[in-house]
Chains A and B, each alone.
Chain A
């Protein structure tokens, strides 16, 4: 039984690490702040949650990691929203191939 749990935990760990890496590749490859924020926030949040869930399974049901998952899922999108809001307020342009910017149109 514990071996099955260990294998599942390792699978979660590997998938989480892969998502983290993908999120950071997105951080490097995508063209402007908002796209980078999207890719990195989504992938790194879920990847770290998977790593923490793998920790929960591999280290003998450590409930602290579930608390950490809840906290990260609640706090990380809020931080991303704050950064996106502040970037748009401070006048950082969208990528030049962007198709529409309703917020800028409405502010005028």
Chain B
């Protein structure tokens, strides 16, 4: 219905994703990389919200919610890995 949202709105998100990727490549410590990946996961939820607006397909919102859940669990697992305790605790 709201097809007058131009694609240019997604440009800031794309630039943000590239900044995150820069931090993933350059990050001096593993923790920097984990932070950047976590933030990238939340940015993808923003992409899903934009797709919900400017395409007629409403199911992108469901994808966004599922992505948020999976990104959260992934961040927790990566934090456990960083702590060096293994996954069985």
Tell whether A pairs with B. Answer: yes
Interfacial residues, chain A to chain B (CB-CB below 8 A): 6, 10, 13-14, 16-18, 20-21, 23-25, 27-28, 33, 36-37, 40-41, 44-45, 47-48, 51-52, 54-55, 58-60, 62, 64-65, 67-68, 71-72, 75-76, 78-80, 82-83, 85-87, 89-90, 92
CB distance A83 to B39 under 8 Å?
A: no
Give CA–CA (A18, B76) in the complex, Å: 27
**Interface size classification for chain B:** 35 or more
> Distance in Å from the Cβ of B16 to the closest Cβ of chain A?
4
CB distance A86 to B53 under 8 Å?
A: no
- Report whether over half of chain B's contact residues are helix, strand or loop; otherwise say mixed: helix
> Distance in Å from the Cβ of A83 to the closest Cβ of chain B?
5
Return chain B residues, CB-CB under 8 Å to A83.
31, 34-35, 38, 75, 78-79, 82
A47 touching B2 in the complex, CB below 8 Å, given contacts A27-B23, A37-B35, A82-B79? no
Return chain A residues, CB-CB under 8 Å to B69.
71, 75
Instruction: Give the total number of A-B pairs whose CB atoms are below 8 A apart.
Output: 152
> Distance in Å from the Cβ of B15 to the closest Cβ of chain A?
6
Give CA–CA (A33, B32) in the complex, Å: 6
Interface centre among B1, B22, B35, by most chain A C-beta atoms within 10 angstroms, is B35
Confirm or deny: B86 has a beta carbon within 8 angstroms of a beta carbon on chain A.
Answer: no
Interface centre among B15, B17, B78, B83, by most chain A C-beta atoms within 10 angstroms, is B83
Interfacial residues, chain B to chain A (CB-CB below 8 A): 1-2, 5, 9, 12-13, 15-17, 19-20, 22-23, 29, 31-32, 34-36, 38-39, 42-43, 45-46, 49-50, 52-53, 58, 61-62, 64-65, 68-69, 71-72, 75-76, 78-80, 82-84
